[in-house]
Amino acid sequence: MEPIGQSIARLWRRAGDHPPLAYAMIAAAVAAAWAFHAVAPSGQADFSLLPFLLPVLLGAALAGFAGGSFATLLGLAAGALAAGADATGANVAHALLFLLVALAVAGVGERMRRHYQDAEAANVELRAREARLQSIMETAPDAIIVIDEGGLIQSFSATAERMFGWRAEEVIGANVDMLMPEPDHSRHDRYISRYLETGEKRIIGLGRIVTAKRRDGATFPIELAIGEVQAGGRRCFTGFIRDISRRQRTEARLQELQSELVHVSRLTALGEMASALAHELNQPLSAISNYLKGSVRLLEESVIDAARIRDAVDKAGDQALRAGEIIRRLRDFVTRREAEASPQSLRKIIEEASALALVGLADQGVRHTFSFDESADCVEADRVQIQQVLINLIRNATDAMSEMSTRDLTISVAPHGEELTLVCVADRGPGVVPEIAPRLFQPFVTSKPDGMGVGLSISRTIVENHGGKMWFEANPTGGALFKFTLPRCKAASAR
């Protein structure tokens, strides 16, 4: 059997929806009051109509002002019946007073009823909204994570659970920085407080490609968009996260194909150019040979004509310079594209390049660490070209570490003198093979069975076109350090 309280609440709700039932209940209440009035000790004439106020309150609560008025009239009628023939002036005054008080009670009851109905409607609407939100959170293809001003996770959608490998109840209340690799992991709190202090939007409403960390520590590229909500005087941030590893894998493959194509066409062009230049080179080379042969003959004569010999050797030297000039033109042709430098944020370039280079490497368990010095962040660079350099260095580093048990890759950015920024890509691999170290930056030098050996030579050319330098050092803690410099921005800030 259900508890009596619940039965009353159910009856009450039904009566609210069914006016006949409500009016029957009001009439029953008036009848009960009348019975009470009949048995109550008489002589208390002043209070004799008091019991009829309760049905008025009930009527107003059940059926509004109309219900209250109905109970008032019934009460008055019952009072009149009880008074019978002796309708004294006192009784009439008493009845009028009752009428006034009862109408006031009915009015208050009506207002209470409206408040109750409004609150109920708002509640229903709220519950519907919550259900809608919940269904969005559960089915959205993007992971949705809500955090508060302190960076603590407030909600974690079903997609987020699948994407990161954490269950909502394990992460709610924890700091969202647990889902990021370094340096964001230790800086995220500062990012939020800087935004709260300055209002300067670096990611909110803009969307960016960054790197995220799964439960098992593997990192993967994501597209992150953040929205801001003010609710109940508190500020929350909602993050929409899309795993773009698959998309980037396709893009990376495309890029690879493209760069292979560029490479092949470069080689073809190089071949054509070489045969064309072979003719040109033939000329100075045979001239050199003739001048030198002539000089030898002059040297063999009994009287040595030093002036003629010097002249011939000088001319041979000029021809050698001409041959050198032709070869230089050939090199210029191969690496022709001018760098289109503009102010760029190295942090952004590196974040994107490492996300791109990471594609397909997530399973290899490479741990990325970044260390940025903000003062060296802005550089004059061609974004795409410098990304090519970085992708090259990161891929070389991960290749080098493929056999190692610890695979740490550190990319750091620091000022280098007054005008340059130094970028260092450090790995913990076996280091550069000593035999090829002196020729590392020459084209076609490789130690890999399927390597082309052009990555480093093109990278160095790109860096030098920017006005920087590129070199390598042995990593004191094992592995290789590839370093390059770029000119820092003069005044304008990075895009």
Q: Rule CB under 6 A: choose which of 319, 392, 410, 412 binds ligand ADP.
A: 392
Binding pattern for the stretch 455-494 against ligand ADP, x by CB under 6 A and - elsewhere: xx-----------------------x--------------
3-state secondary structure of 160: helix
Which residues, 6 or more positions from 415, have their beta carbon under 8 angstroms from its beta carbon? 373, 375, 376, 421, 422, 488
Cis bond upstream, residue 183 (ω within 30): yes
Q: Rule CB under 6 A: choose which of 411, 427, 484, 489 binds ligand ADP.
A: 427
| CB-nearer residue toward ligand ADP: 317 or 451 | 451
Minimum CB separation from ligand ADP for residue 415, in Å? 24
Minimum CB separation from ligand ADP for residue 394, in Å? 9
| CB-nearer residue toward ligand ADP: 221 or 455 | 455
| CB-nearer residue toward ligand ADP: 191 or 441 | 441
3-state secondary structure of 483: strand
Q: Which two tokens stand for residue 14?
A: 């039904």
Q: Is 448 in the site for ligand ADP (CB under 6 A)?
A: yes
**Piece in contact with ligand ADP (CB under 6 A), picked from 161-169, 181-189, 195-203, 448-456:** 448-456
**Piece in contact with ligand ADP (CB under 6 A), picked from 9-17, 132-140, 294-302, 393-401:** 393-401
Backbone angles phi, psi at 330, to 5 degrees: -60, -45
Q: Is 173 in the site for ligand ADP (CB under 6 A)?
A: no
Which residues 220-239 are close enough to bind ligand ADP by CB under 6 A? none
Q: Rule CB under 6 A: choose which of 128, 451, 471, 473 binds ligand ADP.
A: 451
User: Alpha-carbon distance 413 to 425, whole Å?
Assistant: 9
Query: Which contacts of 317-322 are long-range, i.e. CB under 8 A and separated by 24 or more positions?
Result: 319/284, 319/285, 319/287, 319/288, 319/291, 320/284, 320/288, 322/284
Place of tokens 């750091």: 412
| CB-nearer residue toward ligand ADP: 212 or 397 | 397
User: Alpha-carbon distance 274 to 267, whole Å?
Assistant: 10
**Piece in contact with ligand ADP (CB under 6 A), picked from 123-131, 267-275, 291-299, 432-440:** 432-440
**Piece in contact with ligand ADP (CB under 6 A), picked from 12-20, 272-280, 379-387, 452-460:** 452-460
Q: Rule CB under 6 A: choose which of 218, 397, 409, 462 binds ligand ADP.
A: 397
User: Alpha-carbon distance 296 to 79, whole Å?
Assistant: 149
Q: Rule CB under 6 A: choose which of 409, 440, 462, 470 binds ligand ADP.
A: 440
Minimum CB separation from ligand ADP for residue 426, in Å? 9
Q: Rule CB under 6 A: choose which of 11, 447, 474, 492 binds ligand ADP.
A: 447
| CB-nearer residue toward ligand ADP: 153 or 454 | 454
Best CA proximity match to 478, nearest among 408, 423, 399, 394: 408
Place of tokens 């508890």: 3
CB 407 within 8 A of CB 366: yes
Q: Rule CB under 6 A: choose which of 51, 75, 239, 429 binds ligand ADP.
A: 429
Q: Rule CB under 6 A: choose which of 452, 465, 475, 478 binds ligand ADP.
A: 452
Alpha helices in 242-341 (DSSP H): 245-300, 306-334
Which residues 343-362 are close enough to bind ligand ADP by CB under 6 A? none
| CB-nearer residue toward ligand ADP: 345 or 392 | 392
Q: Which two tokens stand for residue 481?
A: 């350090």
Minimum CB separation from ligand ADP for residue 192, in Å? 36
Best CA proximity match to 392, nearest among 263, 244, 227: 263
Best CA proximity match to 110, nearest among 156, 83, 71: 71
| CB-nearer residue toward ligand ADP: 30 or 445 | 445
Identify the H or E element spanning 131.
helix 89-139
User: Alpha-carbon distance 94 to 170, whole Å?
Assistant: 69
Residues shown for the chain: 495
Minimum CB separation from ligand ADP for residue 492, in Å? 33
| CB-nearer residue toward ligand ADP: 212 or 445 | 445
User: Alpha-carbon distance 389 to 465, whole Å?
Assistant: 12
Q: Rule CB under 6 A: choose which of 48, 319, 345, 396 binds ligand ADP.
A: 396
Q: Is 400 in the site for ligand ADP (CB under 6 A)?
A: yes
User: Alpha-carbon distance 301 to 364, whole Å?
Assistant: 73
Count of residues interacting with ligand ADP (CB under 6 A): 22
CB neighbour burial string for 333-342, b if at least 16 within 10 angstroms, e if fewer: ebbeeebebe
Q: Which two tokens stand for residue 294?
A: 């002539």
User: Which residues are at the interface with ligand ADP (CB under 6 A)?
Assistant: 392, 396-397, 400, 427, 429, 431-433, 436, 440, 445-448, 451-456, 480
